[in-house]
Each structure stands twice: as C-alpha cells, then as structure tokens.
Amino acid sequence: MITILYIDDDLHDGELVHSMLFGYRVVLARNGTAGLEAYYRFMPDIVILDILLPDMNGLELLDRLPTGCEQHPEIIALSGVADPGLAQEVRRRGVKKFLRKPIESKILKGAINELLRGNGAAGHGQLQEHPPEYENTLNVKSPAFASIIGSSRIISRLKDRAHRYARCSFPVLILGESGTGKELFAKSIHELSRRCKDPFIVLNCAALPDTLIESELFGTEAGAFTGAVNRAGGFELANGGTLFLDEIGELSPSGQAKLLRILEEKVVYRLGSRRARKIDVRFVAATNKDLFLRAEGGMFRKDLFYRISGLELHIPPLRERKEDIEELSDTILRKGVEGAESNRHYRLSAGALAQLRAHHWPGNVRELEHVLHRAMLHSDSAVIEAAHLEISRNGRGYASLPMDEKQLPLF
C-alpha cells in the first residue's frame, strides 16, 4: 500500500488530508521532529510537508532528510503564502510540487498521482477519484520472500516494511524472540536490495567467544597475536553486500566501540593492522533481547544502539499470529524430514491442527519445525495425529520421548 507522510501542525488540515486520501496509508506528524522520526519508521512513498512548522523550518527538514536512500520519496511542499523566493528554495532541494494552502482535494490527488507515476506525461493533470494500485511499488509476493511462509496481516506488513527498507542502505535492527524468522527477513532485505548480487554474510555473536568475535568481524593481520594469519573479517567479506550480525547484544564492549567506528567512518582495520580498508556494507543486526533496556542499563553502548536502530523490524512471536500455523505446518510437512527417505504426503488431522493452534510456541517457528519433524518420524501413516505431536503442556514445548518409544521403527 502507498504510504504518505503528512507533516503539519494544523490538526484540522491533517484530518482533512487524511479523509481526502482515503485508500492510502496516511501517517500524520505534527512537527518536524516527529516527521523525521515517522520518516525513518514508515519509509513513505510521498512526503507532504508544510513549510511552516513549529519546531523547525520546512527547508531545514528537507535538508535533514537522508541522502543514503537509493529511492527517495517524492515530496510535496505546502505553504499558505505566495513567496517566489521560497518556491525557488524548495525547488532547489529537488521538490517537484509546491502547492498553496488551503489544500484542494483534486489538486492534491492529482499531484500525488503524477509523482507516483514517476512524473510521466500519462498521469499529468488526470485527477483520479480512486487511488490506483501501483504493483511495482511494493510487492510482498516477490521471490525474495519465497522462504517466508505466512499470509497473516502481521507477516504481510513485515514484508511490506522489509521491501521499503531494502530501498536504502541504512542499518536495520531486527527484533524478535528466537526462532521467529529474523534471519529470513534479513536475507530478504538483502535479496530485494541493489546489493543482492553481492555477498550476504552471517555472523552470530552469541556463538563466538569474545576474542573471536572481533577477529571474525574485522579480520586479522599476521602477527596480531600468536598464530594470527592475514585474513579478511565479515565486513570485508560482505563488501558491496550485507553483513548480518545475529545476537548483536552479545558483542563485547571493545567490539561495540569498533563497530561504531566502522559505521561512522566506513573503513575497517584488521586486528593488528593500522591500514584502513574502505568498505561499502549494509549492516543488519538482530537480537532477541531488549537492546533498548540493555543500552539504558549500560550493558550496550547507547550511541551504537541509536546508530543501528534507525530502521527497526519487530517480528511478533508465532503465538500472536496463529493464523499462520496451518500454512507453515503444510510447508514443513511437504518438505519432510531431511535425510529421511519417504514419499508420503503428510497432512495434519483436525485434532493435531487444533493442538498446534492451542500451543504457546516459546520456540516459535523453529519449535514448530522440530515438533513436526518428530511427528513425521513417529507417524506410521501419512496422517499426523495429535498424539504424534508430543507437545509438552508445561509450555516449554520440547517433550522428551517416553522410554518405550525410543526405538521407534521409523519408515
């Protein structure tokens, strides 16, 4: 859906524009600061900006809009006064439409349609009552999302947002419980971006001891420490592409300081080397911890937190999108168990599906995969019954096998 950010302190105009633009997603911001915040959060297709704002001049806001995005939103500037000098200043900043207040519905819609059509002659002057579908703007059915199963509103919105984030190179912070699909979304953002032909490198900070994290991230120079050889780190390996740093909350204080420096200077120093290597890497981080609280509590650098969390993607737990369980289960059952030879087309009985829907899923989709893999191994037929699921009722999910079932005849 097309997203329009309207920045104006006039509440009445805000409501008016909201009702005029029925069918679009309209985000209202009442001052420049809120406008900038909403800009990063929603990555709008169009920004409508009143030049007179209470906390900053509209021109100043235009200057503060980021330049790192490959695809800028189109901007419509508004002013209540006719001022040719102001109009010139606004145009000099790349704004194609400068409209006079009071806003007229047809003129505003016409300007929006024209801008959305890439300012092409086809849409010029044609006023449309219904917002058109711009299929090329955002496509949640993109092949880059093929591995992300789920048709819930939550998943569709996340795909929409990931699509927007893929348009630029700002860092993205993905938040969510373990097993919710953070890495899948990170990969999709990479695949949808202009970086898709370059590497997507994954580093898991939680799986590496403190000392290794830094050498894995930044690389080493022979002689940096005993046994060190010349080796590129994650940043160099991901050059041109995306570096996905999983469990970023586990990064040591010195690793955090170095990471901050890289994000600011865009150069990397291998451990033991003073040579700066220029890098062009899109940085995506993930955590299942509350990084904000960690930053507040002094366990994570605040400056780094704010540097990496400009664009956030919150992936809700599976229990909050239970409508996805059936589709996810069907996909998992269709794939079968890796390494197990079977041509059965597994399916769930109604009772099994009801039990899956009733579970709390603390381990999220990963837990669902484990439960269904185990169920396929337990089942003697193609139908998975509730009894095959062995979901624990204590909410932890992983039931242990009863002794007498440990030597199950599997296929």
Q: How far apart are CA 311 and CA 284, in angstroms?
A: 10
* CA distance to 71, 88, 120, per residue, from 124 (Å): 21, 22, 7
The interface mask with ligand ATP, positions 172-201, x = CB under 6 A, is ----x-xxxxxxx-----------------
Q: Which stretch binds ligand ATP (CB under 6 A): 31-39, 101-109, 144-152, 214-222?
A: 144-152
Contact between 151 and ligand ATP per CB under 6 A: no
Token look-up 């580093």 returns 203
Contact between 312 and ligand ATP per CB under 6 A: no
Amino acid code (one letter) for 313: L
Q: For residue 27, list its beta bridge partners.
A: 5
Q: How far apart are CA 200 and CA 190, in angstroms?
A: 7
3-state class of 366 per DSSP? helix
The interface mask with ligand ATP, positions 231-250, x = CB under 6 A, is ---------------x----
Binder of ligand ATP out of 20, 149, 196, 228 (CB under 6 A): 149
Nearer to ligand ATP, 269 or 300 (CB): 300
- List the alpha helices (DSSP H) in 131-252: 153-165, 182-192, 210-218, 234-237
- List the alpha helices (DSSP H) in 117-199: 153-165, 182-192
The interface mask with ligand ATP, positions 57-76, x = CB under 6 A, is --------------------
Instruction: Name the closest residue to ligand ATP (Cβ).
Output: 181
The interface mask with ligand ATP, positions 269-288, x = CB under 6 A, is -----------------x-x
Contact between 38 and ligand ATP per CB under 6 A: no
The interface mask with ligand ATP, positions 314-353, x = CB under 6 A, is --------------x-------------------------
Angle, CA of 239, 244 and 249, to the nearest 5°? 130
Contact between 370 and ligand ATP per CB under 6 A: no
CB of 310 to ligand ATP, least distance (A): 20
Nearer to ligand ATP, 47 or 148 (CB): 148
Token look-up 């906390």 returns 55
Contact between 289 and ligand ATP per CB under 6 A: no
Q: How far apart are CA 399 and CA 191, in angstroms?
A: 37
Cα 135 versus chain centre, distance: 20
Contact between 369 and ligand ATP per CB under 6 A: yes
Q: How far apart are CA 234 and CA 275, in angstroms?
A: 17
Which residues would be at the binding site for ligand ATP (CB under 6 A)?
147-150, 176, 178-184, 246, 286, 288, 328, 365-366, 369
